[in-house]
Amino acid sequence: MSISPQLLVSENSLSKSSKYANMFNKVPQITLVFWLIKMMSTTVGETAADFMIFNFKLGLPVTSLIMTVLFSIVLVIQLKAKDYIPWKYWLTVVFVSILGTLITDNMTDNLGIPLSYSTIGFSIILAVVFAIWYAREKTLSIHHIDTFARELFYWTAILATFALGTAAGDWFAEGLSIGYQNSTLIFAIGIALITGGFYVLKLNAVLCFWLAYILTRPLGAALGDWLSQPIKNGGLDLGVTSISVVFLLMIVGLVGYETYKKSRRIGRN
């Protein structure tokens, strides 16, 4: 279920003229650690939203407002960074994961929009974001998120993938009555097929990255529900509190490792 560090690397994606071509890139290298943190952040987005709504009894509207404000603050901190700072980047990912979940939940619970419509709608929105991004920048590669405009496109696309993933995950598990466990397996197989397509069929690296990135969200949503939901609903009843805390601690540990690696790399240079 893991994806190789080489998934996004293509021969023409990096400048051969300078070993410092990606010095000011604002996103991390695509490694196994990247995918592990991404996976856990998607699950935390699912469980943390439920935790705040039900355990703190804040309700969906109040929780959504609080998370929108907090996400805006964290995003500004990330945008002001000069290069990739692990804690700033991944804190933004965690908050965008929670916000993406809440956007879909509001559309479903408050507006009564079916999950199938939300899935289609967010797919169209994401396609439009990619189209505008490519038309302006001539690349969708995350090896070159090194300008303000590209970073805005990047985070807009990320938010759309999280909202889309939440809708698709819930639609498969609940709307189509496939169940959380089976949905988790289906999305995991999808990611495995994309990985195989990259290595065996030599599919475009950027395309494979974004497809895998999109699918990790419904995988995380289905996994989070499977682990936390009551047994009568098809889950393992581990509780949103336990899952959120465990995964957050693992994220903190891996982000600390990323920070250590970066400091070592800077020290060698």
Give per-residue pLDDT as tens, 71-118.
999 999 999 998 999 999 999 999 999 999 899 999 999 999 999 999
Across 235-251, average pLDDT: 86
Confidence band of 2 (pLDDT split at 50, 70, 90): very low
Token duo for residue 112: 């009564």
Across 170-174, average pLDDT: 88
CA distances from 187 to 9, 15, 32, 180 (A): 23, 34, 18, 11
pLDDT, tens digit, 9 for 90 and up, residues 29-54: 889 899 999 988 888 877 777 778 87
What would the 3-class secondary structure string for 59-110 be?
HHHHHHHHHHHHHHHHHHHHHHCCCCCHHHHHHHHHHHHHHHHHHHHHHHHC
13: left (phi over 0), alpha (psi -120 to 50) or beta: alpha
For the entire predicted model, the pTM comes to: 0.84
Contact in structure between 243 and 227 (CB atoms under 8 Å)? yes
